[in-house]
Amino acid sequence: MRLLLIEPSDNHHETVLTLIAYASRLPVLSSLWVAVPERWKGLYARLPEVNGIVELGGDLSVEHLIREVRKQELSHVLYNTAYGPLPFRLSQRLRSAFQTGIVHDTEKLHRFSWVGWAVGCRMQHFWVLRDRLWQTLPRWWRKKSLSLPLAALPSSLEAALPSIAVPPGERWFAIPGRIERKRRAYEDLIEALKERRPSANWRFLLLGPARAPHSDWPFLQERIRRYGIEEYFLVFEEPLDFATYHGYLRVCEAVLPLIHPTIAYWEKYLKYQITGAFSLAFTHRKPLFLHRAFSSEREFMDTAFFYETPLSLIELIERGDSSGHFQLYQSEQWRVEWGVERLWRGLTGGERRSSDPLL
């Protein structure tokens, strides 16, 4: 098997890393290529699991990819984001390779989206990233799809994680992702910290770049300064490289997605997609502190602690070190081999067996 992973945007690269981790463990894999924008080439070039890189950009990307697929004799193409102009055009013209992908937003399959349905129909198989998203798909889409947990890093990246020391007495909590108020309830957390004023040794690490386009950090920073709670936040102005980003996640006590009913994306996260914070917590086996609306979902049964309000989130953290409350990540789906098997099944047509734990 000769596999090409395609991600034309600056999003969902935590998904690419897990796919590399799973694919590199397939005994039948002889070559693994990635196609990414120019700014990401250097990061993937450091991973020995990757055998080749195709640079994306401009109107010639589709023609360039078709030539590379043929030149490298790539047998399988996996769209890391199976939506958008490039997957739409490439899936229409590419006939020589088995086509698969990740559907990050299943709303496009519940309603009629020409691009979403066209790419979905042309792929021989696809995955979604949460079991509930798969269970609620229309039956005809479930027939050619599986859920896939993202819970691993490439071995080379694991070995390259820097040693980051948490200062004695401090407690670190990760809030991954772009700093956008529509995606995460930063203001709920800020208001709760203003009202309750917990121990001064807490640090909330905002791991998205503060200077990114559309960042809401200037607005949030002004409110944080007005309330005099700057000491609780650790912010990074520019994007971190893969190893440093995951190094910080590895030493945090827990991951906070901050998905609350107050954000614009509340319904989307409940019904149609995941936040990358879920996958990052799974990858590093960190507990999630999560709104109670998610408490019935299988993925969170042994991975999350739940709260109802922002103040009850503060109370949850105050109760102590979350890692000792119960045995985390004990179910079968958190074994790397389980994810590898799910990837393999999709790359070979998605044949289901009665022993599958999801059936």
311 shares its domain with 256:
yes
Q: How confident is the model at residue 111 (pLDDT cuts 50, 70, 90)?
A: confident
pLDDT tens by residue, 28-54: 999 999 999 999 999 999 999 999 999
Position 327 scores a pLDDT of: 78
The answer on 130 and 168 residing in a single domain is no
CB atoms within 10 A of CB 258: 24
Tell me how many domains the chain contains.
2
**Rounded distance between C-alpha atoms, residue 75 and residue 85, angstroms:** 22
CATH of the domain at 14: 3.40.50.2000
Does 60 lie in the same domain as 83? yes
Task: Determine the pLDDT at residue 316.
Answer: 94
- State how far the Cα of 5 lies from the Cα of 346, in Å rounded to an integer: 14
Q: Report pLDDT for 350.
A: 62
Q: What percent of the chain has pLDDT over 70?
A: 95
Quick one: tokens of 197?
Answer: 């004023």
Domain assignment present for 235: yes
DSSP conformational letter for 172: E
Mean pLDDT, residues 160-183 taken together? 96
Considering the domain architecture, whether residues 131 and 227 belong to the same structural domain is answered as no
Separation of first and last alpha carbons in the chain? 27
| 110-117 mean pLDDT | 90
188 and 289 share one domain: yes
Count CA within 13 A, CB hemisphere, residue 320. Answer: 4
Q: Please, which pLDDT band fits residue 181 given cuts at 50, 70 and 90?
A: very high
Whether 183 and 269 share a structural domain: yes
**What does the pLDDT look like over 146-158, one tens digit per residue?**
999 999 999 999 9
Residue 117 lies in a domain: yes
pLDDT of residue 193: 97
Which range of residues forms the domain containing residue 301? 162-328
* Same domain, yes or no: 75 and 96: yes
Residues 108 and 175 in one domain: no
pLDDT of residue 326: 58
| Positive or negative: CA dihedral 345, 129, 1, 121 | positive
Q: Would the pLDDT of 352 be above 70?
A: no
Q: How far is Cα 6 from Cα 56, in angstroms, rounded to an integer?
A: 9
The answer to the question of residue 354 being in a domain is: no
Residues 172 and 91 in one domain: no
- pLDDT score at 211: 93
Question: Given pLDDT bands bounded at 50, 70 and 90, which one contains residue 351?
Answer: low
Assign 272 a pLDDT band (cuts: 50, 70, 90). very high
CA 62 – CA 65 distance, rounded (Å):
5
On whether both 41 and 147 belong to a single domain, the answer is yes
Is residue 46 included in any domain, yes or no?
yes
Looking at residue 358, what is its pLDDT?
Answer: 33
pLDDT digits (tens, 9 = 90+) for 11-32: 999 999 999 999 999 999 999 9
State the pTM of this model. 0.92
How would you classify the pairing of strands 76-79 and 171-175?
A: unpaired
Q: Does some domain include residue 359?
A: no
Letter for the amino acid at 4? L
Shared domain for 168 and 216, answered yes or no, is yes
User: What is the C-alpha separation between 301 and 324, in angstroms, rounded?
Assistant: 16
